[in-house]
């Protein structure tokens, strides 16, 4: 049983790392000079624990609050300051609707990464993510693409959320 728990924990860490790297990569592709967004992309999920979304409500836990706490830690503050970034700017950015987090009506880079990665890893994707990314444009107003690519993204969203 102990090996299974360790293996699952390592898998959760791997998945979390892949999400952080994927979101950061998308931020770098679409917003190469938006340093606050790119730092927020790296830091947006550092408060997640294993099964975080699945158990947050039950345990009364909020990964966003822990993320903000970690961003204000001396180690992270020091790193951000070497890049001329303020922790308060990153936290403020993460609290707002943005290309990273999305809005009520607009898909954010965080979820785009999840849909692309999850459908790819389960073998349920028609087009390789790198090809889809070339057909998607992202701005502060959201994600834009042609109709066939948009419909393909909607199929990915349905696959990830309903299967």
Mean local confidence (pLDDT), 97-124: 83
Domain boundary among 73, 96, 119: 96
Look-up of token digits 């609290």: 95
Judged by average pLDDT, the poorest of 6-10, 66-70, 136-140 is: 6-10
pLDDT-based confidence at 70, cuts 50/70/90?
very high
Instruction: Give the pair of three-digit tokens for residue 85.
Output: 């970034």
Both 71 and 32 in a single domain? yes
pLDDT at site 15: 44
pLDDT-based confidence at 31, cuts 50/70/90?
very high
Judged by average pLDDT, the poorest of 32-36, 89-93, 136-140 is: 136-140
The tens digit of pLDDT for each residue in 44-58 reads 888 877 766 677 778
Q: What is the mean pLDDT of the chain?
A: 80
Residue ranges of alpha helices (H) inside the chain are 2-30, 35-43, 52-59, 63-71, 74-82, 87-95, 109-121, 129-134, 147-162
Share of the chain above pLDDT 70, in %: 82
pLDDT at site 14: 41
Domain region containing 124:
99-163
Both 92 and 112 in a single domain? no
Residue 25 neighbours by CB distance under 10 Å: 15
Q: At what angle do helices 63-71 and 35-43 cross, to 10 degrees?
A: 120
Cα(144)–Cα(35) distance, integer angstroms: 22
pLDDT at site 161: 64
Both 79 and 140 in a single domain? no
pLDDT-based confidence at 162, cuts 50/70/90?
low
Buried b (16+ CB within 10 A) or exposed e, 87-103: beebbebbeeebbbbbe
Number of structural domains (the chain) is: 2
Do 143 and 107 meet the contact criterion of CB atoms below 8 Å apart? Answer: yes
């Amino acid at each position: 049983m102990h090996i299974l728990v360790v293996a699952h924990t390592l898998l959760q860490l791997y998945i979390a790392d892949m999400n952080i790297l994927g979101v950061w990569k998308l931020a770098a592709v679409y917003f190469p000079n938006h340093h606050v967004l790119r730092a927020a992309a790296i830091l947006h999920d550092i408060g997640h624990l294993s099964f975080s979304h699945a158990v947050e409500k039950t345990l009364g836990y909020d990964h966003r609050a822990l993320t903000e706490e970690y961003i204000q830690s001396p180690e992270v503050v020091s790193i951000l300051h070497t890049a001329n970034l303020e922790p308060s700017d990153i936290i403020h950015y993460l609290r707002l609707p943005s290309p990273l987090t999305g809005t009520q009506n607009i898909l954010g880079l965080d979820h785009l990464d999840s849909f692309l990665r999850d459908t790819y890893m389960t073998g349920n994707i028609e087009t390789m993510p790198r090809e889809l990314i070339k057909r998607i444009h992202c701005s502060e107003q959201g994600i834009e693409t042609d109709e066939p690519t948009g419909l393909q993204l909607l199929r990915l969203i349905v696959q990830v959320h309903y299967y």
